[in-house]
Chains A and B, each alone.
Chain A
Amino acid sequence: SQQGEEDPQALSIQEGENATMNCSYKTSINNLQWYRQNSGRGLVHLILIRSNEREKHSGRLRVTLDTSKKSSSLLITASRAADTASYFCATVDFNQGGKLIFGQGTELSVKP
């Protein structure tokens, strides 16, 4: 079953702009992860944030987590055309055996 709900479903920006994607979930989590999927490829792990963390950075990526609101956001700064892809959030609850529950994804298009 899908837990994460991503917003927006699609986002189109110009190269150099920042892209923000949001994710909401329903149940308790141990961590939340973001993945990227290029067209026709498998998913690639981007970043993981634990339930006791509020913000995490990795290169041009910044993830925030608000467990009181059951939401997370992924910010990509200074976007590039190569960032064009679908982005998925996924939650992990160790009580559910550690499986990932994926959202529907945000389709990001970065125009050069």
Chain B
Amino acid sequence: DAGVIQSPRHEVTEMGQEVTLRCKPISGHNSLFWYRQTMMRGLELLIYFNNNVPIDDSGMPEDRFSAKMPNASFSTLKIQPSEPRDSAVYFCASSLGASGSFSGEQFFGPGTRLTVL
């Protein structure tokens, strides 16, 4: 398996532009997580999906952020409009999902480094 795939790996954009980050989870995993990592705030969970359904989006900073998972093999995180304070590394992770036998182990993608000028 190729692991969790994220694209793009780097994104530089100007304030006010729309940014779309993409993630392909590991085949067979039914939970998907979006994280943001900055020096100031560390690793923050933004939103997670189970079986393509958003379960908890309490970490999404504001309405400028939205995430979708149209099918089991694809998810997007969109920022519109982007602001300089959104600059961070965004990680996608997948796992086998929440159940009684769920281990909780998550597999992370390489991340997208976003810079908003």
A43 contacts across to B, CB distance below 8 A: 43, 91, 93, 106, 108
Q: Which residues of B contact A56 (CB under 8 A)?
A: none
Contact with B along A74-98 (1 / 0, CB 8 A): 0000000000000010001010011
Contact B105 A104 (CB under 8 A): no
Q: Which chain A residues lie closer than 8 Å to B48 at the CB level?
A: 97, 99
> How many whole Å from B53's CB to the nearest CB in chain A?
11
- For chain B, the bracket of interface size reads 20 to 34
Quick one: which of B24-61 are within 8 Å of A by CB?
31, 33, 42-43, 45, 48, 50, 55-56
- Contact (Cβ within 8 A) B103 A48: yes
- Contact call A88/B109, Cβ cutoff below 8 A: no
Task: Check A28 for interface membership: any CB of B closer than 8 A.
Answer: no
Contacts known (A43-B91, A104-B42, A105-B42); A98 close to B110, Cβ less than 8 A: no
Q: For B50, B93, B105, which residue has the most chain A Cβ atoms within 10 angstroms?
A: B105
Instruction: Write the nearest CB–CB distance from A74 to chain B, whole angstroms.
Output: 16
B97 CB contacts on chain A under 8 angstroms: 98
Q: Which 6 A-B pairs have the closest CB atoms?
A: A98-B98, A42-B108, A92-B104, A43-B108, A102-B43, A104-B42
A residues lining the B interface (CB < 8 Å): 2, 30-31, 33, 41-45, 48, 88, 92, 94, 97-105
What are 15 inter-chain pairs, A to B, with CB distance below 8 A?
A31-B103, A33-B105, A43-B43, A44-B108, A48-B104, A48-B105, A97-B55, A98-B31, A98-B50, A98-B99, A100-B33, A100-B45, A102-B43, A103-B42, A104-B42
B residues sitting closer than 8 Å to A (CB atoms) are 4, 31, 33, 42-43, 45, 48, 50, 55-56, 91, 93, 95, 97-100, 102-111
